[in-house]
Copies of this chain bind each other. A is one copy, B any other.
Amino acid sequence: MGVLVMNGKKIVIVGGGASGGTTAQFARKTDRAAHITIFEKGKYPHYSKCGLPYAIAGIVPDFLNLIEFSEEYFNKEHIELFLETTVEDIDLKRRIVIAKKGTESTSREFDALVLATGSMPMVPPIQNIQTHNRFYSGIHVLRTIDDGRSILSDIRKGKKATIIGAGLIGLEMADTLHKKGMQVTVVEALPRILANTLDDDMSDLVRETIQEHVTLYTNHFATQIKDKQGAVTHLVIKNRETNEDAAIETDLCVIATGTKPETTLAKHIGCAIGKTGGILVNENAETSVKNVYAVGDCTEYHDFVTGEPICVGFGSIGVRQGIAAGTNAAGGTYSLPKGLLMTRTSEFFGLEIAAVGPIQASLKNKTIITGKYKGSSLPDYFPGGKPITMKIHVEEPSGRILAAQAVGSNAAQRTNVYACAILNGLTVDDVRKMETTYAPPIAPTLDTLTLVGDVVALKRARKKREP
């Protein structure tokens, strides 16, 4: 820690990913004298996990480019960073964290403890997936830089790759492996891709694009790995309707079927665990244990619209929790909104998608009116306009906007308007009459953004007339 004497609050952060790293930064911003320590079990400081597919694709030139805050940064900020160091024990009474790097043990006292322990890949029950406690050669998950490097080293142009799971990361990886010249198959157990991200009809729009580039099996389980001398050769999948099996030739297999929160330490010190298996936190990123905070993928908070518990799985939310935990742990005040909007976006095969709020299936306890509109990003006469489809769900009879989804041009920034609207309890009439930005090379006079609201307004007016 150099010559500086840090005589402020002692803050220990377990986990140095984006959420933990952000916590440290905001603790430092809040208190220049705080004694801040991060224990990170991996090799690298604060890097972007979400960037891994793009480093594999070679768009981001090197995996180390994903490091957003370097060891030098943490040094400069007088934040003590231990890498490859695993926390072995937390003594809540004595307020001590004990960590180990190899045989070397380090302990730190704390006034505030922040758990940023992240999550682990969920691997479905697939026969013969492991040998000697590790995956067969060619089989991968994607959580760390080392996972990414390992996938990259297995990529062979012209060979076959299979992705298990058609969620956001699965489809990002499908695009990546396709870009690298592999023949890609995607296997999804549910009847639709992006089942947690988009409604069925919106997901079908994406499916059309995906299928131009990859082979897609929905409603199929991955059941078994076939190998030759310890290397994967086939993935056996089962049709959930017909129960028929098929063996897909594959040289590389990426499992992208979600994650589960890492909560071992949290349970050990008595933090309440929520229904989804994450550490329960409130709007201040506080756990049920005094002076213990938790941030990022290991936590559970609740949906802003439905109030249902949600396991936080987005970097954008983890970073915001880090701002709250870091500020609060260091003696400041920062509260997050009273629930998660789950604003989300991604892009694959040139198609941008975005959404905010629950999918329709999660709104079954509410009376809703739904609008959908397909427009163009530009006036019809202007060359280069791209399709943009938006869909919104509005609560009846209040008119309050509950959710929005977008597929196409500038889906993400258009969705941000709805994130703002939902967070502030605005109604469809509050939004649909706003003047949107208009210029021929940029957007039409009436944007899909508000036209989708007009669709809902028309339906509501009709409903009033014909009750």
A125 interface residue (CB < 8 Å to B): no
* B51/A381 in contact, CB under 8 A: yes
Contacts of A344 in B (CB 8 A): 437-439
* A24 to B354 Cα, complex, angstroms: 35
Question: Taking A410-B413, A424-B424, A445-B319 as contacts, is the C-beta distance between A314 and B438 under 8 angstroms?
Answer: yes
Task: Digitize A326-346: 1 where CB-to-B-CB distance is under 8 Å, 0 elsewhere.
Answer: 000000000011001111111
Besides A60-B381, A343-B434, A410-B410, 12 more A-B contacts (Cβ < 8 Å) are A51-B379, A60-B382, A68-B380, A316-B435, A319-B446, A320-B435, A337-B433, A344-B439, A356-B437, A416-B449, A417-B420, A424-B424
* B442/A345 in contact, CB under 8 A: yes
* B435/A419 in contact, CB under 8 A: yes
Question: Taking A420-B417, A423-B430, A430-B423 as contacts, is the C-beta distance between A48 and B379 under 8 angstroms?
Answer: yes
Which of chain A's residues 440-461 have a Cβ closer than 8 Å to chain B? 440-443, 445-447, 449
Contacts of A416 in B (CB 8 A): 413-414, 416-417, 434, 436-437, 447, 449
* A50/B436 in contact, CB under 8 A: no
Contact residue among B319, B347, B383 (Cβ-Cβ distance under 8 Å from A439): B347
* A412 to B347 Cα, complex, angstroms: 20
A contact residues vs B (CB 8 Å cutoff):
18, 48, 50-51, 54, 59-61, 65-68, 168, 314-317, 319-320, 336-337, 340-347, 352, 354, 356, 379-383, 410, 412-417, 419-421, 423-424, 426, 430-431, 433-443, 445-447, 449
* A21 to B316 Cα, complex, angstroms: 45
Contact residue among B342, B410, B424, B436 (Cβ-Cβ distance under 8 Å from A419): B436
Contacts of A315 in B (CB 8 A): 438, 445
* A433 to B379 Cα, complex, angstroms: 33
* B433/A336 in contact, CB under 8 A: yes
Contacts of A352 in B (CB 8 A): 442
* A381/B48 in contact, CB under 8 A: yes
Contact residue among B342, B383, B443 (Cβ-Cβ distance under 8 Å from A412): B443
Which 3 residue pairs spanning A and B have beta carbons closest together? A413-B413, A316-B438, A412-B437
* A148 to B168 Cα, complex, angstroms: 47
* A51 to B443 Cα, complex, angstroms: 12
Contacts of A50 in B (CB 8 A): 438-440
Contacts of A417 in B (CB 8 A): 413, 416-417, 420
* A145 to B350 Cα, complex, angstroms: 36
Question: Taking A416-B417, A445-B18 as contacts, is the C-beta distance between A340 and B381 under 8 angstroms?
Answer: no
Contact residue among B354, B421, B430, B436 (Cβ-Cβ distance under 8 Å from A316): B436
Contacts of A316 in B (CB 8 A): 435-438, 445-446
Can you report 15 residue pairs joining A to B where beta carbons are below 8 Å apart? A18-B445, A54-B441, A60-B381, A68-B379, A319-B446, A343-B434, A343-B437, A343-B438, A347-B439, A347-B441, A412-B439, A413-B443, A416-B416, A416-B436, A416-B437
* A247 to B412 Cα, complex, angstroms: 49
* A65/B381 in contact, CB under 8 A: yes
* B435/A343 in contact, CB under 8 A: yes
* B439/A345 in contact, CB under 8 A: yes
* A431 to B345 Cα, complex, angstroms: 19
Chain B: minimal CB distance from A449 (Å): 7
Contact residue among B337, B381, B445 (Cβ-Cβ distance under 8 Å from A66): B381
Contacts of A380 in B (CB 8 A): 68
Closest partner residue, chain B, to A64 (CB atom): B381
* B435/A341 in contact, CB under 8 A: yes
Closest partner residue, chain B, to A52 (CB atom): B440
Contacts of A438 in B (CB 8 A): 50, 314-316, 343-345
